[in-house]
Structure formats: C-alpha cells, structure tokens
Chains A and B, each alone.
Chain A
Amino acid sequence: MLAQQLLNGLVVGGVYALFALGFTLVFGIHHLMNLAHGAVFMTGAFVALYTVLAGMPLWLGFVFAILACGLLSILIEVTAFRRLRKSGEAEFGAIISTLGAELIIVTFAQIVSGSDVLRFPFETFPVEIFEFAGLRVTLLQLFMLVSSLLLMLILTYYLYRTPLGTRIRSVSGNERASVLSGVNPNIIYYQTFFLSGALAGAAGVLIGLSFNSIQFAMGEPFLLRGFVVVVLGGMGSIPGAMVAGLLLGMLQTLTAAYLPAGLTDAIIFSLLFVILLVRPYGLFGKETAGAMRAER
C-alpha cells in the first residue's frame, strides 16, 4: 500500500517538477516571476484536447501543445516583461503584469470552453494496466513518468552541455554581461521563455490526460503548488525543482491517503510557509540568492 502510494506520488511529482522547472528557469536566469505560468500550463491541456477533438492523433496534440505554449510564453515575455526590464521596479512590476496576462489567458479559455469541464474522448490514451511485485501501474502513468524524466534530461543536457545553454547560464540575471559577450539579450529571453512555456505545456497535457478533466481554472492550483516546489528546491535551482517536485508529489499522495480528507492543502502551504521562515533559499539554493535581507 505504501509502495503503491509512493509510486503514484512519483508520477504526479514528475509533472510537478516539469511544471516548476519552467518557472524556476525564468526566475533563476532573469530574476523575474512569471505568474502566468499556470495559464500557460492550462493552455497546453486545451491545445492537446482540441487537436484530438479535431480528429488528429494525440502525439500531434502533444507536439502542438509544446510549440503553442513555448510561443505563448515568448508572447508573455514581449508584452509583460520587456518594458519593465528597463525600469527599476521590474521585480514588483513583473508580478503585476504577469498576473494581468494570466487573467487575460484564463478569461479567453473560459470563453472558448464556455466554462465547461472538458474531457478527452474515451481511450484517447490506451487504458492498460500492468502489475508487478504487487504494484499496479497504468500505461499512462508509465508514459507520464518517462516523458517527465525525458524532458528534464533534455533540458539539463541543453543547459549544461550545449554552447547555447552555457551562454544562457553564464548571463544569468546580468544583461550587461550578455551584451558584453556579444549576445543579444532578447535571444536569451526568447530561449528561456520558450523552454519554460514548452515544459509547462507538456505538464498541462500530462495532467489533462491523467485527470481527464480540463477546465479554464486548472492552472491556479498548479501555480500555487509550483511555488511550493520552487521554494522547497531553492528559487532558481534546476536540480532543486526536480527533487522538490518529486518530493511534493509523494507528500501529497501520502497525506491524501493517510490523513483526513481536506487537510492536504493546509499541510502543503504550511510547509511552504515554514520553509520560507526556516530556510528561504530552499534545499539547493544558495544563501546569497537574495531571499533574506542584508544584515540588520
């Protein structure tokens, strides 16, 4: 029973990690919070769903979702961030303007869907159940786990092993340095936002398939959980987000399984609050990352 819960938690946690990675990537490199990230996630589920409803195969929906969300994320950068980057109050301003972007995207989705809860047609994803060592795992769960891990690997490879990724990391948070090294900062922004959005879109498709309940407000709880993951992992830390995502997934399934119903959210957000007080730079973040005030 415990092992089964841990396995289920791992599957959900992989998707949390995927979602939070995009959020933490933008924060780590540009020091900006993108509160429209949950809306991008929701858009991913919508794009895949409408592709399938239009009679096209699911894999194509997956590809479309990733592309569309990457582009949507770039659009958010251009409309919500670009002007603010030059002002002194980018940190505060970005929160307001991406919150605005979130409201716009969510309202649009609400109108498109007529506020209904939408579902993938039956057997869009083949229902197959495997059993081994007493554990039950569906093909969909395997697919979720494998694709989350795969996407995380691709991102890690891109950031740490390719020249483009190295460049992104080297200019992290420092536009002057990037200009000096001959990189147009906008190119860096396009790349990080595309990656960030693509990951959110993929997470949206996976969650849409797994719960098979897609609606315009589905991004908000994910955004809120995303905060838990990125803070637990350390704001801006890539490995931190991966580990913390998996941890949160398991914690959530365990509390849901063993504690009275309805207590999960209280526990998760109390955890977030306590981490911020005790260790605001998270498990993997650096103490110097600016979570704390300067001395005295």
Chain B
Amino acid sequence: MSALVIKSVSKHFGGVAAVSNVNMEVPSGKVTGLIGPNGAGKTTLINLITGVLTVSEGSIHFGAQDITEVPAYKVARAGISRTFQNIRLLAEASVIDNVMIGFYRNEKTTTPASLLGLPSARRETAALRDRANKLLERFGMSKFADQEAGGLAYGHQRRVEMMRALASEPALILLDEPVAGMNDVEAGELGEIFRGLAKDGMGVLLIEHNVRFVTNLCDFVYVLDSGRMIASGSPEQVVNDPAVITAYLGS
C-alpha cells in the first residue's frame, strides 16, 4: 500500500517556481530518501505536504485521503508527523511537556471535559505522562525530563523533537535533515532507529543533504534540484546518475 502519493505538484512564489511538476511516492514500511543541494526546494516540498503552504498545481494523496487542500493541523491529524530543519521545540516548556504535546493527536479528552477538569481528563493526562516517561527512558533522556527544553545540548534537542514526532504515532514521518550537525556515530544510532520504525510499518521520508547517510539507509531515493525531480531509483542507481553528479558538483 502506498502511503503518500504526490502528483505533478508545483509551487510558485510570485512568478518564481520553487517546486515544479514533482511526482513522488512514499510507501509505508520503507525508508525513502529525498536529497538535493541547498535551495533545491526540499523544505518547500515538505511544507506543501504538511499543508503549511498551499500547492499551486497538482495533488497530494495520503492513503485514500486527498490532502491537497487540507490545512496543517488536519494533515497532522491524518497521521503525518514531521521534524523541522532547524529544531523547533517549545523552548520554555520542560522536556516531558514537549513530548506530551506529541500525544495530542490521539487524545480522547473533549474540550468541555478539559475546561471542567473532569476526572477523565486528569486521568488521561496522568496516563500520557507515564507514556512520555517510558519514551524518555527508551531514548535515554529520563534524567532531563524536568529541564527546560531550550537549555539542552543540540543532540539532545534533536532527540526530544524526534520523541515528540513519535509520540503522535504517525503513519508517516517526515524528517527534515535529522542528523545535521551530528557525528557519524550519533547519525548511525539514529539511522538504526529510523530503520526500526520502517520495519514496524511506518513510512519514513528522510530529507537529507548528507548523501552517504541516505545511500546507506534508504530503500529508494529521489533527487531534487532547482525545484525539479532530476532522478529517482535505488541508492546505487542515483549516486551514479550523471545528472545527479552534475547537480552536486556544479553547485
């Protein structure tokens, strides 16, 4: 089953095309890569998928659902989670609160129950706190639970952002340069986690700059340059594609 299908998508800002006529599929249970030089339109594409930006032309489907015109919060509710290129945490909130907001999508508490502080609402909050603590344990972050997220070291902030995205139990996760600024060991560890997620049936779209990381990890790779898809295929095919080599060396 194909999780995300992008058909002939274009986006213009004024007269300038940031993304033009892009076709792409992100199946569940696989790690799909999206690479391209700086300014190729990768982040624009993510913003189009997640509904932060509206597409100028084309369509985006997620499972059976047409999400072309759907606003960001509904895309998230449909089961697409993301991380941001320049980590965006709730800097003033504690680490555990940052993870807890990730559960929001699947919370059962209704708005009136929350306003009235009904026991059911408080019970769910307590249950989520337990789950968040378990997640922190799994990522080895328990001792930071009560610290302000904004004060953490860079690598730890990345992990918090990842935990938050996972807490929403998405069917598809979009990772925007998740290993930027990490060394090979740290990147390798994260890569294992991504593989594990795919094995459990999640769709993973990995947006990267680092070609080696992508070729090691991905099942299928797309290459974007100047807003156009210039190549796609297995990692081996793609890195040997002359157009890709020119795009990277030429820039």
- Residue ranges of A at the interface with B (Cβ–Cβ < 8 Å): 294-296
Q: A295-B54, A296-B72 are in contact. List 6 more A-B contacts (CB 8 A).
A: A294-B52, A295-B52, A296-B52, A296-B53, A296-B54, A296-B71
* Complexed CA–CA distance, A250 and B72 (Å): 45
Q: Closest residue of chain A to B91, judged by CB?
A: A88
Q: CB within 8 Å of A: which of B53-78? A: 53-54, 71-72
Q: Closest residue of chain A to B50, judged by CB?
A: A296
Q: Closest residue of chain B to A296, judged by CB?
A: B71
* Complexed CA–CA distance, A296 and B51 (Å): 8
Q: Closest residue of chain A to B52, judged by CB?
A: A296
Residues of A within 8 A of B71 (CB): 296
Residues of B within 8 A of A296 (CB): 51-54, 71-72
Tell me how far the C-beta of A289 lies from the nearest C-beta in chain B, rounded to whole angstroms.
Answer: 16
Q: Closest residue of chain A to B70, judged by CB?
A: A296
Tell me how far the C-beta of A88 lies from the nearest C-beta in chain B, rounded to whole angstroms.
Answer: 9
* Complexed CA–CA distance, A295 and B50 (Å): 12
* Complexed CA–CA distance, A40 and B71 (Å): 45
Q: Is the interface of B mostly helix, strand, loop or mixed?
A: loop
* Complexed CA–CA distance, A106 and B69 (Å): 52
Residues of B within 8 A of A295 (CB): 52-54
Tell me how far the C-beta of A296 lies from the nearest C-beta in chain B, rounded to whole angstroms.
Answer: 5
Tell me how far the C-beta of A294 lies from the nearest C-beta in chain B, rounded to whole angstroms.
Answer: 8
* Complexed CA–CA distance, A265 and B51 (Å): 42
Q: Closest residue of chain A to B73, judged by CB?
A: A296
Tell me how far the C-beta of A223 lies from the nearest C-beta in chain B, rounded to whole angstroms.
Answer: 32
* Complexed CA–CA distance, A116 and B64 (Å): 74
Residues of A within 8 A of B54 (CB): 295-296
* Complexed CA–CA distance, A294 and B72 (Å): 12
* Complexed CA–CA distance, A294 and B52 (Å): 9
Residues of A within 8 A of B53 (CB): 295-296
Tell me how far the C-beta of A175 lies from the nearest C-beta in chain B, rounded to whole angstroms.
Answer: 21
A-B contact pairs, 10 of them (CB 8 A): A294-B52, A295-B52, A295-B53, A295-B54, A296-B51, A296-B52, A296-B53, A296-B54, A296-B71, A296-B72
Q: CB within 8 Å of A: which of B28-86? A: 51-54, 71-72
Tell me how far the C-beta of B57 lies from the nearest C-beta in chain A, rounded to whole angstroms.
Answer: 16
Residues of B within 8 A of A294 (CB): 52
* Complexed CA–CA distance, A230 and B116 (Å): 43
* Complexed CA–CA distance, A295 and B52 (Å): 7
* Complexed CA–CA distance, A26 and B143 (Å): 47
* Complexed CA–CA distance, A284 and B72 (Å): 32
* Complexed CA–CA distance, A295 and B53 (Å): 6
Tell me how far the C-beta of A85 lies from the nearest C-beta in chain B, rounded to whole angstroms.
Answer: 20
Q: Closest residue of chain B to A88, judged by CB?
A: B91
Residues of A within 8 A of B52 (CB): 294-296
Residues of A within 8 A of B72 (CB): 296
* Complexed CA–CA distance, A295 and B72 (Å): 10
Q: CB within 8 Å of A: which of B106-161? A: none
Tell me how far the C-beta of A193 lies from the nearest C-beta in chain B, rounded to whole angstroms.
Answer: 31
Tell me how far the C-beta of B37 lies from the nearest C-beta in chain A, rounded to whole angstroms.
Answer: 25
| Those 3 A-B pairs whose CB atoms lie nearest each other, nearest first | A296-B71, A295-B53, A296-B72
Q: Closest residue of chain A to B54, judged by CB?
A: A295
* Complexed CA–CA distance, A295 and B51 (Å): 9
Tell me how far the C-beta of A282 lies from the nearest C-beta in chain B, rounded to whole angstroms.
Answer: 21
* Complexed CA–CA distance, A110 and B8 (Å): 68
Tell me how far the C-beta of B113 lies from the nearest C-beta in chain A, rounded to whole angstroms.
Answer: 28
Q: Closest residue of chain A to B47, judged by CB?
A: A295
Tell me how far the C-beta of A23 lies from the nearest C-beta in chain B, rounded to whole angstroms.
Answer: 31
Tell me how far the C-beta of B220 lies from the nearest C-beta in chain A, rounded to whole angstroms.
Answer: 30
Tell me how far the C-beta of B53 lies from the nearest C-beta in chain A, rounded to whole angstroms.
Answer: 6
* Complexed CA–CA distance, A296 and B55 (Å): 12
Tell me how far the C-beta of A288 lies from the nearest C-beta in chain B, rounded to whole angstroms.
Answer: 10
* Complexed CA–CA distance, A296 and B71 (Å): 6
Tell me how far the C-beta of A166 lies from the nearest C-beta in chain B, rounded to whole angstroms.
Answer: 27
Q: Closest residue of chain A to B51, judged by CB?
A: A296
Tell me how far the C-beta of B148 lies from the nearest C-beta in chain A, rounded to whole angstroms.
Answer: 15
* Complexed CA–CA distance, A294 and B47 (Å): 12
* Complexed CA–CA distance, A296 and B72 (Å): 7
* Complexed CA–CA distance, A296 and B52 (Å): 6
Q: Closest residue of chain B to A294, judged by CB?
A: B52
* Complexed CA–CA distance, A296 and B47 (Å): 11
Q: Closest residue of chain A to B53, judged by CB?
A: A295
Tell me how far the C-beta of A21 lies from the nearest C-beta in chain B, rounded to whole angstroms.
Answer: 31
Contact with A along B71-105 (1 / 0, CB 8 A): 11000000000000000000000000000000000
* Complexed CA–CA distance, A295 and B69 (Å): 12
